[in-house]
Amino acid sequence: MRPHEARRDAYRRMAREQGYRSRSAYKLKELNRAYRVIGAGFGVLDVGCCPGGWTQVAVQLAGSRGRVMGMDTSHTDEVPGARTVRLDVSDDGAAGEVLAYFGKRVDAVVCDLSPQVSGNWSVDHARQVSLNYDAARVMARVLARGGNAVFKVFDGEYSAEFCSYVKKMFARTRSTKPRASRKTSSEMYVVCLGHTGG
């Protein structure tokens, strides 16, 4: 986004005024209003959490009886009410770390993963979808039956295949683009409800 566009961006302004670390926070809020991915008392894993906007929202939604863990390859400054860890989602030990922290399976997994973008769209799209497969593998090991998930997907050649892959594991899925997601961005979100374990 160019500087003059950033100034005009209402979500960015709102994020600054309301103390959210990213304008993306409003995407999760919007998705949750529509689909109730996270409810009070939930255990929530936030994959690709830095700088922490979604983690802040997850803490608010899960409330005092909930528990939230954020995971990212970059360092995330502490988010009050959450545990943030520096961890690669493709690491073999990732699911084990999550289960060790929660002591049981979680109720929701939310993924807003983006690779370091190279500027070459096909490469970035392929990398982003590949990260999602890693996240889905972790999800399959840590999400409770009946639990929910959200995946950001860079829409392109491989996104339909990824969507059918996760669809098999849930009672209901929906692809959507929240208003807070820029129209010019190719990202969309796959909301997955009712983990069947399939």
Binding site for ligand SAM (CB under 6 A): 21-22, 24-25, 48-54, 71-74, 88-90, 112-115, 131
Nearer to ligand SAM, 106 or 113 (CB): 113
Q: How far is the CB of 165 from ligand SAM (least distance, A)?
A: 18
Smallest distance from ligand SAM to CB 108, Å: 14
Q: Are strands 187-195 and 143-154 parallel, antiparallel or unpaired?
A: antiparallel
In the complex with ligand SAM, which residue's Cβ is closer, 72 or 107? 72
Catalytic annotation present for 168: no
Nearer to ligand SAM, 54 or 102 (CB): 54
β partners of residue 133:
none
The active-site residue out of 27, 29, 152, 177 is 152
C-beta of 102: minimal distance to ligand SAM in Å?
A: 18
Whether 93 and 32 have beta carbons less than 8 Å apart is answered as no
Q: Which residues of 22-59 are buried (b: 16+ CB within 10 A; e: fewer)?
A: bbbbbbbbbbbeebebbeeebbbbbbbbbbbbbbbbbb
Rounded Cα distance, 5 and 49, in Å: 24
Active site residues: 152
